C-alpha cells in the first residue's frame, strides 16, 4: 500500500468509485484497493459458468444507478462504459397461472 495518499478507498464498486472520484476531484490523493481481479463490485458481470454465458456477480438490477445524477456527471458512455440490462426481467417462463405457480413443462 502506498503511503503518499490522503485517502484509501477499499472496494471498487459504484460507491467506492464514487467516493474516490469525489475526493480526487477535491484535490486529494486517493488510492483504491480492490480484492477481486476486476473492478465494479456488485455491478460486475462475468462469465461464471460457461464461456459466453454472462452473469451478474452480485446484484441484478441497478435502477437508481442508471438515473444517478452523480454518474451522469462523468459522461460514462463517452468513456466506453454503458449500462446493460437483461433481455427478460425474469428467467422463469410464466404460464399465466399466477406468481406462485411452477411451470410443469
Q: Tell me the pTM.
A: 0.66
Specify whether the CB–CB gap between 83 and 74 falls below 8 A. no
- How far is the C-alpha of 73 from the C-alpha of 81, rounded, in Å? 13
The yes-or-no verdict on residue 19 having pLDDT over 90 is yes
Q: What is the pLDDT of residue 100?
A: 52
- How far is the C-alpha of 66 from the C-alpha of 52, rounded, in Å? 25
Q: What is the pLDDT of residue 72?
A: 84
Torsion of CA 19, 23, 26, 29, to 10 degrees: -160
Burial of 12 (0-12, 13-18, 19+ CB in 10 A): buried
* pLDDT tens per residue across span 49-75: 899 988 888 866 677 777 888 888 888
Burial of 31 (0-12, 13-18, 19+ CB in 10 A): middle
Q: What is the pLDDT of residue 45?
A: 82
Specify whether the CB–CB gap between 97 and 104 falls below 8 A. no
Amino acid at each position: 500500500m502506498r503511503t503518499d495518499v490522503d485517502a484509501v478507498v477499499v472496494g471498487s464498486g459504484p460507491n467506492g468509485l464514487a467516493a474516490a472520484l469525489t475526493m480526487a476531484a477535491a484535490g486529494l490523493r486517493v488510492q483504491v484497493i480492490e480484492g477481486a481481479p476486476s473492478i465494479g463490485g456488485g455491478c460486475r458481470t462475468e462469465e461464471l459458468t460457461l464461456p459466453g454465458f454472462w452473469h451478474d456477480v452480485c446484484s441484478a438490477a441497478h435502477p437508481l444507478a442508471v438515473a444517478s445524477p452523480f454518474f451522469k456527471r462523468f459522461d460514462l458512455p463517452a468513456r466506453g462504459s454503458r449500462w446493460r440490462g437483461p433481455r427478460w426481467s425474469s428467467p422463469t417462463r410464466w404460464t399465466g397461472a399466477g406468481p406462485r405457480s411452477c411451470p410443469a413443462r
